[in-house]
Copies of this chain bind each other. A is one copy, B any other.
Amino acid sequence: MTTINDVAERAGVSPKTVSRVLNDHDSVSARTRDRVRAAMKDLDYQPNAVARSLRARGSGSVGVLMGDPSGGYHTRVHHALLLACVETGRHLSVDLSEGPIPGWDDRIRAFVEDSGIREMILLPPECDFGPMKALMRELDVRCVLISPTTPDPQFPAFAMDDRAAAREVVEHLFSLGHTRIGHIAGHPDHVASTLRRNGFFEAYAAAGLPRPGPELIVQGEFTFKTGLEAARRLLELDEPPTAIFAANDDMAAATCMEAQRRGLRIPDDLSVVGFDDAPIAGVIWPSLTTIRQPFEQMALRALQTLGAWSVNEGAGKTNTPFLARHSLVVRESTGPVRSGAPPRRKT
């Protein structure tokens, strides 16, 4: 292993000067700098990040806490974070978060100290957990929040605009001629559910159409099973909707399955839209029209914010999260409303 001393010796300068070159510090004459650079290249020198961390009291890694990945949400954020880390030249340290079980704080403390973490990304649900945020402040770890339920003036936050996205979904369906649209709402405990439902209504209001009746709004819980039941209720209405907007992809997939079980063809007899662009959306048949959450953008902005922290201490901390730009992904599950013959029904 070549050290800074080897480089110094070869370049005929002191180690400190090499260090200066490494960090673009102070004033180093062009000639010396070139000589040092050459020596580094000759010796194939790689600065030892661990030694640096010791001095600097903190590695260049960002920490992130991951919970149960089955929802797919964490997985996608995780991937986006990895991409963002590549972009910003960092590395990612991951620890398991198992909720506020006894001793959770000691584990986090150990995680932060062992990994030399000075920056952390907090995802749901940790980003809304007060004691966690307090611990971060105590450990003097810079934090950003991703999709918090309630923003915190102490930390910058990044989220997407659920309301606007839902509105776009409905406008897309309007443009295909649908006006009788059912909505399968998400779990009542999640703000996202409310925002998406509000967006749904808002689109109607903006288009000057009458607000859909309560029979067209069915409560789900983000799961496939509740989606199945909700779809059943919508499709058994005397006047069933020609399109269904589910608050996530699992429920949308369930809707497709239930509809197909009843002999309806998608999108000819029924259009279906999901939300999230979860893996299932691209994989089932017909593939789902859905909203792609802008994970990549949120992750990149989050890391950039952390990087710029020292420069403008406290900038970006605000009550309103930065809203990243989502996109509507139109796939096979939506099509023009079939005028004329009403959808075949089959009990």
Could you list which residues of chain A lie within 8 angstroms of chain B, going by C-beta atoms?
Answer: 46, 48-51, 53-54, 57, 59-61, 66, 68-72, 75-76, 78-79, 82-83, 85-86, 91-96, 107, 109-111, 113-116, 223-225, 228, 250, 253-254, 256-257, 260-261, 263, 279-280, 282-285
Contacts and interface: CB of A to CB of B under 8 A. Distances in A.
A93 B284 contact: no
Nearest to A94: B92
A256 B284 CA distance: 11
Nearest to A98: B86
Contact of A114 (B60, B82, B263): B60
Nearest to A53: B50
B115 A283 contact: no
23 contacts: A46-B109, A46-B113, A50-B50, A54-B54, A61-B114, A66-B78, A69-B75, A69-B79, A72-B279, A83-B96, A86-B96, A91-B93, A91-B114, A92-B93, A92-B94, A93-B93, A223-B283, A224-B283, A228-B285, A254-B285, A256-B257, A257-B257, A263-B263
Nearest to A229: B285
A95 B92 CA distance: 7
Integer count of this chain's copies in the complex? 2
A114 B56 CA distance: 14
Contacts of A92: 93-95
B91 A48 contact: no
Contacts of A76: 69
Nearest to A116: B50
Most chain B CB within 10 A, of A94, A109, A110, A224, is at A94
Contact of A91 (B86, B111, B254, B279): B111
A63 to B, nearest CB: 9
Given A51-B54, A257-B284, A110 B224 contact: no
A282 B71 CA distance: 11
A51 B55 CA distance: 9
Contacts of A72: 75, 279
B50 A59 contact: yes
A78 B92 CA distance: 13
A109 B85 CA distance: 15
A51 B60 CA distance: 15
A96 to B, nearest CB: 4
A116 B91 CA distance: 11
A116 B113 CA distance: 14
A115 B49 contact: yes
Given A69-B79, A257-B257, 18 more contacts: A46-B110, A48-B113, A49-B113, A50-B50, A50-B54, A69-B75, A72-B279, A78-B94, A82-B95, A82-B96, A85-B95, A86-B96, A91-B94, A91-B115, A92-B93, A257-B260, A260-B261, A280-B280
A261 B253 CA distance: 14
B79 A68 contact: yes
A250 B116 CA distance: 40
Nearest to A81: B94
